[in-house]
Amino acid sequence: MREEGAIAVLKIEDVLFASIQIPLHDKLAACFQQQILEKLEKTGAKGVIVDISAIDVVDSFITRVIVELGHMASFMGAKVVLVGIRPEIAMTIVELGLDLKNIYTALNLERGLALLRQMLPSS
């Protein structure tokens, strides 16, 4: 994948962390999902924290990408927590009528880790 490495996926303790810094287009989004799933398989991580604090806009496309990731990750036994949702983003998500379904949310990385700790059986 040409785009591999465009979004860094790191392992922090026993969860994965990815920060979306650039707008995702179709191919990049698919690459991103694939990268995370492969890393989940390799590491056995049970949680993925996705940071969207640098994203300019959350529209229906990126929502679908994230919700899909949530479904895919759950097949691999992992939960996805979205962090870094800015107030303007929270407002537009609701106004647009977007449903984040199975995606958990937390204010920031620290709270995201705490949430995962709570939800996951001790590893």
Partner 1 sequence: MGDEFVEIPIKEEQDVVIARLKGKKMAEELGMKKVDQVRIATAISELARNILLYAGTGVVQIKKIHGEKKGIEVVAIDHGPGIENIELALTDGYSTSGALGVGLPGTKRLMDEFEIWSEKGKGTIVTVRKWA
Which x/- pattern, by CB under 8 A, does the window 27-66 give for partner 1?
-----------------------------xxxxxx-xx--
Tell me if 2 contacts partner 1 by CB under 8 A. no
As given in the structure block, the two tokens for residue 63 are 């929502």
Please give the residues from 61 up to 90 whose contact with partner 1 meets the rule CB under 8 A: 61, 63-64, 87-89
Exposure string for 79-99, b = 16+ CB within 10 A, e = fewer: bbbbbbbeeebeeebeeeebe
User: Which of residues 12 and 57 has its CB atom nearest to partner 1 in the complex?
Assistant: 57
Binding site for partner 1 (CB under 8 A): 23, 25-26, 56-61, 63-64, 87-89, 91-92, 95-99
